[in-house]
Amino acid sequence: MVKLGLIVLLVVAIQWITTSQGYGEDFANGLPPYESRAYLVLLNALRIAPKQYIQKYAADYGHGITTIVLQNAAATNPLSVDQRLYYSAALLVNDVTSTQGCQTTQTLCNGTSYETRIRYYYNDCLSSGGRSLELISAGSFSAWADPRFTISAQLCANPTDKDNCTADNDTKSVYRAVMTGSTYATAGAARAPFTTNTQSGFSYFWSINMGSGCAPNPAGSSAINSGSHFIDSSGSLVFMAIFNSASSPDSASVVIDNSTTPTALTLSLGSATLGAYTFSRAKFTECHSYYFSFVAGGNTYRYPETGLLWTYDSQYCSTSFTGASNPSTTAGPTTGGSGTVTNTGPNTGVSGSGTSSVDGGGSSTQTTSPATTQTTSGTNGGNGGSSSQTTSSITGTTSASPTSGAEHKTKLPMIVMIALSALFMMF
């Protein structure tokens, strides 16, 4: 039974803004934050070169992951970021982590189901036959803050023994098939620390929403699918961009601090036309901006299209992106975190997750079992401690009139809130 949580919010102002940002730019106020960008670029690296990725970026999790996981996986398409899916994911993780006693499920603390929540944001796709799926994971150790560790833990699916990951044909390894499958084309990932909700027993909560059936929002025509930085197993700072084009790049670079001398990227995973390009260096001890630039087929591609990414971390750099909606100072950002989730989402719905009929969106059916859940507990800190993983999906089957949430196709709510019992934040 899902416990109901109460979050009392004082709404100071509500403003509707039209989304006109370019691909890779922020949705609003610096969102999506660093961890969301890093998770997506790493997930895409996994998708385009599964075996290479595991050997290069997951091997430190334990030898079981290199000898058991994804032994016969094939390359597939990278996922494009979609703000509707990000907001759905962010709403869940911030609600659950900041509401005392709320359970780590796909149901909001007020009882709103996953299907109601996703249709609020993504109904224009679902009502025309699209699909959506959500993966959730919660971990009890601080390592779950790291996107690279989180992907490794999700792939291993055995937090009590990292050297004995579940086999590819085990029902507990359902995450692998989803994370490397070709069904979905867009995604949004969100993470939040458990702050107020100390009863959960977990440290961090992740949600990854995937979708198909319509173009990503914002639309992306760039050959640079995704890009971010992350920390590898040696502690080095790695800049990574996923390139996807019919033509091999004539040049690939990361431009740090708007330098007139770009730093060359080299192919790390995949092929020249569908590959992960990287540059590694020692971690900075101060805040630095960057963007990616590729030249291919006579065209120059930039990611993000405008604005700057920043080397966000909790010690030296507190901002993920600066641009028109989240400007920087000449000295670089020093405050502001990595953005504030600025929507409340659906406020009514039914309890539980699974098959149901959603008003205004036609019927919906599960494309997998109603909910495949893995919950285990462990004490080995190197394995990630206790964790919980759940996945469920729905398929839109009609073209009925969408619910009011379909407005999010072209507009985003920007709500400035003061939380009396919790403040929705992304760190």
Residues pairing with 393 in the sheet: 133
Q: Rounded to whole angstroms, how far apart are CA atoms 74 and 10? A: 49
Residue 247 belongs to what domain range?
225-322
Domain of 254, CATH number, reads: 2.60.40.10
Nearest-angstrom CA–CA distance, 269 and 352: 40
Kindly state whether residues 158 and 63 are assigned to the same domain. yes
Whether 2 is in a domain gets the answer: no
Structural tokens at position 377 = 């507990």
DSSP conformation letters of 175-236: HHHHHT-SS--EEEEEEEE-SS-GGG--SEEEEEEEEESS--SS----SEEEEEEEE-TTS-
Q: Which residue has the tokens 């400035």?
A: 416
Pair (233, 177) in one structural domain:
no
Is residue 177 located within the same domain as residue 318? no
For the residues 174-201, what does the mean pLDDT come to?
A: 90
For the cut 50, the answer to whether the pLDDT of residue 10 exceeds it is no
**For residue 400, what are the contacts with CB-CB under 8 A and spacing of at least 6?**
127, 360, 361, 362
Q: Based on the structure, what is the number of domains in the chain?
A: 2
- Give the mean pLDDT of 275-291: 95
Amino acid identity, position 294: F
- What is the pLDDT, as a whole number, of residue 327? 47
> How high is the mean pLDDT of the chain?
75
Contacts of 24 (CB under 8 A, 6+ apart): 81, 220, 222, 224, 226, 227, 303, 304, 305
Contact between residue 398 and residue 213 where contact means Cβ atoms under 8 Å apart: no
Is the separation of the CB atoms in 241 and 227 below 8 Å? yes
Burial class (CB in 10 A: 0-12, 13-18, 19+), 401: exposed
What are the pLDDT digits (tens) for 343-375? 445 533 322 222 222 222 322 222 222 233 333
